[in-house]
Structure 1
């Protein structure tokens, strides 16, 4: 009987989604006769400690995963449950993505005080988000809106909407779904209006590359269509050297190709915009190779000046 120590952030959402993943893994282990039990270890990350500035000003990559990955490398934990959108493109040597489970709803959600859609928000409404990606697309769609940074966990951001002077806030619908708070959602923003972050809605189960026991177990948790879509999105992310601090988004969907289920086709849309939303670069293409598709979309945007936009934002 192996005891598997699972590392996670300590927010309510992180603990909830980790608990849900552990429950499914325990069921899989039991069904395959794999003897193991799980214990959850809470770890505080840099992104959790610094809440008084926007993510774009904190700097660095892996703000919500570095300390957890170090615990993996040190052997203090055996696996980690991350939100895929928090994962940098490059993983530390010795670590690997052991599984990408089936994706939750990838869309962004609008939570408002009264109006039920983006179009219904009053002129000059105050909207809270700490994401430059969301702010850029929101300003592109509604230049009249006022955007103000709001950081913190889902529950604290919802509380700020209720208690402060925001007219609306934007959150990832996946987290709200996992918490069971769907009734708070006023409207879902389609990708045509607000393209999700890379990997949004998906989880990343990370482990050590030499842990054959964990790799065997996690392999049974893999959802291949989600994994393919995320590979395309992350190839786009890597080519643009992106992260959660820049106005960049991508979303891939998977459908069966002409040869059937063994030849899936991916459709990937990628975007890069200026923080004020005045410039919005967006491209879509279809292909069967996720990495090649991600690079193709990134290179098309680079040809239009995406690398210069991102360089300006980083400076």
Structure 2
């Protein structure tokens, strides 16, 4: 009688399994990368969805975190490798902002702050801004009855100033040709010339209309977008070789709605900052809606300041001529 041998049972290749598991996670990783790369294609006709996404675009990197946890739980090599794609794309967009790009020196330091018309301590806010030692201080959302408090607190160090509507500028250097800029039915923007020892600088201060997120209307930014166009027209008519635009834009430099401005001026924080420079809300900053844009000068440092009595953080930048 001939003995027969049965084939040995096959042993599953566990290494191969790690490349088969986690396909759904890998798909979501690819979609996250596509969302980052193709965010300009997200339409604005549906509740300004594209602008809303771009307002918080840096935070899309957090989508990788739950996907990474899921990949580790599933022990999926496929998912882990796929997560490199959104990580690299995010790094390409925002990695440079994680590096300290600030330098020493510079010719002019500017501070901009939405002081909040409900600020309980205008004088203390003004003194905190003056302590920075900037040559120019721009304020937005000034309440008419509180303006004298800011004037008194800044009078000693900033002998030159002008308030136009709800925005104002204080300077250690002389100001001239100051006038309101029409971006809304009431005055929320101004333009002035600061005569520095190294030459004049055109300074614009603006406070664009507020935006809201509503279930029935989406991202209500149409009023702001209209004001952006009017402000861009004023910038296009500017003949000064050096221009600085500061204020509360209720939008980030990544938002396509600000393209008429960012096509002409650069964000100081992106070129000379240390981090993202988030400025709102002050208690837990999530977006940089307070901006300092420049043209004809080189940013050498940009940063946010400690909280005051406002719901915004002040922002500052030093530029070189």
TM-score, structure 2 length as denominator? 0.28
Taking CA–CA contacts closer than 8 Å with sequence separation of 6 or more, which of the two structures ends up with the larger relative contact order? 1
TM-score, structure 1 length as denominator? 0.28
Over alpha carbons, which structure has the higher Rg?
2
